Amino acid sequence: MPSYDQESLLSIESRFSIDSADSRVGLLSKEPVVLRRASAGDVEAACRQADLEHIMAHQARAAHSPSMAAQRVVLTNAKQRDMQMASLASAVNRMGRLRFANQDCPLVRDRRASDIEGFINKLDRLGVKSLKDTQRFSPQPLVAP
């Protein structure tokens, strides 16, 4: 466990009062408060909280520095409307491309191809020798008109 000197504990306790019943009282007090009966866990928690607040304050200062101001963009209402319309138009285009993806009805060209394939299969069956030997099949010679 790291040990903290009296000065760092004094600066930590000037902002946070660990034994205070109301946490706002400790935050609002300007006078340093030194606790004599602070446990090691309480001191460690106060130090962690102070470190975390220091990091957050540093990040806030860095985010609002003049070098970062050029990267912030304020969108006008017209720009926001144009962006929303562009996203809507792209969604409609995607829906148009995926039109038959979730439908049960096959495409017309697929239906036509399967019909032609079925017709060709029927013609092939008519040419099979075993079908010609049955009583129901009687081949007729083709007569030219």
pLDDT at 44: 86
pLDDT at 19: 45
Q: What is the mean pLDDT of each run of 10 residues along the chain (145 residues)?
A: 48 47 51 60 85 89 73 74 89 73 72 89 73 59 68
DSSP string, 102-142: T-SSPPHHHHHHHHHHHHHHHHHHHT-HHHHTSSS------
The CA-atom distances, in angstroms, between 110 and each of 67, 106, 115, 120 are: 61, 6, 9, 15
**Any alpha helices (H) in 1-145, and if so which ranges?**
6-15, 23-28, 40-63, 66-69, 77-97, 108-126, 129-132
pLDDT at 18: 45
pLDDT at 15: 47
pLDDT at 86: 92
pTM of the predicted model as reported, rounded to 2 decimal places: 0.26
Q: What angle do CA 23, 27, 32 make, to 5 degrees?
A: 115
Kindly report, residue by residue over 66-85, the tens digit of the pLDDT.
Answer: 776 666 666 778 888 888 89
CB-based contact 25:58 (threshold 8 Å): no
pLDDT at 39: 73
